[in-house]
Structure 1
Amino acid sequence: MSRTATEVSRSLVVERPGQHRLTYGAAPEPGAGEALVRVAAAGLCMSDREVYDGRRDAAYVRYPVVPGHEWSGTVAAVGAGVDPALVGRKAVAEGFRACGSCERCRSGETSLCTDGYAETGFTEPGGFADHVIVPARLLHPLPDDADLRAAALLEPAAVVAAAVRAGRPRPGERIAVVGAGTLGLLAVQLLAAAEPAELVVIDPRTARAAQARRFDATAVCTPEQAEQLHGRFDLVVETAGAPATAASSCLLARRGGRVVLTGMFTPGAAGIDPVHLSLSQLEIRSIFGAPSSAWAYAVRAFGLGLLDPAPLITHEYPLERFAEAVALVGAGDPGTGKVLLRP
């Protein structure tokens, strides 16, 4: 099912680090097994800033590239072998182009596919464009009344969903979330649904952490204040990726507690004390992206109203103002939340 051949489609191409241009061409046609999605909104995160600045590991980016791994839209056309009923449906799509047949994929760990790394927005054209083509099997249709602006945050929500599933929160537990960025505040929403006795958010930016209260956090504190809470929590979900947060998160957990690390750490980050680890019998999990099951979890929570990413959005720009948008990401302004591009 095709659109008019004369439709023009724009794409924001990062040719090489620090150099980008807006291109114009005919809207692409989906091939067999593919879907063409008209992008409604696309989020920027630190990974996109790293791509633009040239700081992303060379194994995880391929220039020139159209970035954009956080996006939502409406299916505009489908290729051969794809259900035509998808056309017109609001949707998001998984980013990892997992093979589906290796041992890790067949075990449900699609974010750890061993058939080589491929991901929308890093090695494959992403959502900083009017249209994006994805394998139709990766689509997650949304309710007809879904807010596509908010749905652009379902990619980070899926990462958080993977962390929550790994952490296994139980009613009445004491839970801490380290970091009050996008991941942290999404985590608060999903963890609040488990009805914890305490849900404490830890972040040096008191203005950002305070926003967690509207998502039912019971308390907020700075890292310095959190030193008085060492050994208190049944579950600690780390989302900041700061140099010291992996180690400090383990100190917050009670003996026999659980720690889930979702932050992307850089070389030189403080290591976890092995003596404390062995004496405390901690269960530690790390998260890399989101498998298909976590995407389904996040989309379901979004559809039920348990997850509302919209309040996290603070800035929106057209594609033409990409340079202004990307400059905001990681600039340190506590008033900057999620930045969107709106093709």
Structure 2
Amino acid sequence: MTSASRSLTIDSPGSHRLAEGPLPEPGPGEVRVRVAAAGICMSDREVYDGHRDPAYVRYPVVPGHEWSGTVDAVGEGVDPALTGRRTVAEGFRACGRCERCRYGETSLCTAGYDETGFTRPGAFADHLVVPARLLHPLADDADLRAAALLEPAAVIAAAVRAGAPEPGERIAVLGAGTLGLLAVQLLAAVSPAELTVIDPRAGRAAQALDFGASEARVPKEAEEVRGRYDLVVETAGAPSTAADACLLARRGGRVVLTGMFTPGAVGIDPVHLSLSQLTVRSVFGAPSSAWSYAVRAFTAGLLDPAPLITHEFPLERFAEAVALVGSGNPETGKVLLRP
């Protein structure tokens, strides 16, 4: 076994380096994972560009919160049988002791924000160390390339669970990016009467149909179906999509917001919200239960993130890889780093 490990560090916005150092050793209650693949998302691009809220990043940082790998060492107090297991792990370092954690809402931990890839070293590296309690072991034959997308899948699983879809309902997904297309797969498994995807990109809309959507519309066409849906899952985070999602829902319907909105986004009309008696939920990250849901769906074959992957790069080409994310190129889906 090698005694060294490489990691990609962002020292400050716009400045990164790939360095080799000693192989990290897991401490008590921890495991070391050999990284198989790590996804780059817009949050990572924000870290690189310096646009992430300072409360949610700590420089210098090794990014990488979407990843999969294989446990290759365990620390004191950890079951040795985990060695060799394919796995993913939760990113939030929830305390497990506060009232919200004890209630099962680990993504609302009141001990303070702490997350792999933002405040702790992440998976843009050959190896990373994480608490064993955060692991979600995978099947022995799991596709680790696809499994790198289980972090966004867990986020959308949290949204689906919050929306409580039922068979035969009319459901709309607003946005056909990574989150939106993963939502389509999970929602299609519920057997809705209609599953409409709304996105301005024709290619993404077509992919949504392959994933189980019954129809795809561009935003202008969505005006024709306002007030139609029992459940609307918003995934785009565009300036108007929170308000648009509420207009798509029927009276008494449900709306779940998962997109990361920026200041200046159009507000939801409180008059419409009140008169329509809508239930609106938001999702940021994923609690442990949503991770379990996503991993079960992946293992059962109900969730296949692999078709979303369009580009793969070694760590040495990080600059090229991160430039693709958020570039606006319609041909760019999920970008992976492969240490």
TM over 0.5: yes
Name the CA distance, whole Å, in 1 between partners of 2:247 and 2:21. 54
SS of aligned partner of 1:21: strand
Determine which of 126, 129, 140 is the counterpart of 1:130. Answer: 126
Equivalent in the alignment of 1:340: 336
The answer to whether the aligner puts 1:164 opposite 2:160 as a matched pair is: yes
The answer to whether the aligner puts 1:9 opposite 2:5 as a matched pair is: yes
Determine which of 67, 79, 82 is the counterpart of 1:83. Answer: 79
Name the CA distance, whole Å, in 1 between partners of 2:307 and 2:118. 27
Give how far 1:26 is off.
1.5
Determine which of 95, 112, 131 is the counterpart of 1:99. Answer: 95
Q: Is the contact between residue 177 and residue 239 of structure 1 (CA under 8 Å) also seen in structure 2?
A: yes
Q: Is the contact between residue 71 and residue 153 of structure 1 (CA under 8 Å) also seen in structure 2?
A: yes
Q: Which runs of 4+ in 1 moved over 2 A?
A: none
Name the CA distance, whole Å, in 2 between partners of 1:43 and 1:286. 23
Equivalent in the alignment of 1:57: 53
SS of aligned partner of 2:154: helix
Q: Deviations over 1:158-217 (max 9, x none)?
A: 000000000000000000000000000000000000000000000011111110111110
SS of aligned partner of 1:186: helix
Identity level (%): 80
The answer to whether the aligner puts 1:253 opposite 2:249 as a matched pair is: yes
The answer to whether the aligner puts 1:313 opposite 2:295 as a matched pair is: no
Equivalent in the alignment of 2:321: 325
Aligned-residue RMSD, C-alpha: 0.5
Give how far 1:58 is off.
0.1
Name the CA distance, whole Å, in 1 between partners of 2:52 and 2:164. 31
Name the CA distance, whole Å, in 1 between partners of 2:108 and 2:49. 26
Q: Deviations over 1:18-77 (max 9, x none)?
A: 000001012111000000000000000000000000000000000000000000000010
Q: Is the contact between residue 49 and residue 326 of structure 1 (CA under 8 Å) also seen in structure 2?
A: yes
**1:99-248 equivalences in 2 (<5 Å):** 99-248=95-244
What TM-score, normalized to structure 1? Answer: 0.98
Give how far 1:294 is off.
0.2
Give how far 1:337 is off.
0.2
Name the CA distance, whole Å, in 1 between partners of 2:237 and 2:114. 23
Letter in 2 for 1:59: A
Q: How many corresponding residue pairs?
A: 339
Letter in 1 for 2:51: R
SS of aligned partner of 2:210: helix
What TM-score, normalized to structure 2? Answer: 0.99
Q: Is the contact between residue 208 and residue 335 of structure 1 (CA under 8 Å) also seen in structure 2?
A: no
- Name stretches of at least 5 consecutive residues in structure 1 with no aligned partner: none
SS of aligned partner of 1:36: strand
Name the CA distance, whole Å, in 2 between partners of 1:56 and 1:330. 14
Q: Is the contact between residue 232 and residue 253 of structure 1 (CA under 8 Å) also seen in structure 2?
A: yes
Name the CA distance, whole Å, in 2 between partners of 1:213 and 1:225. 16
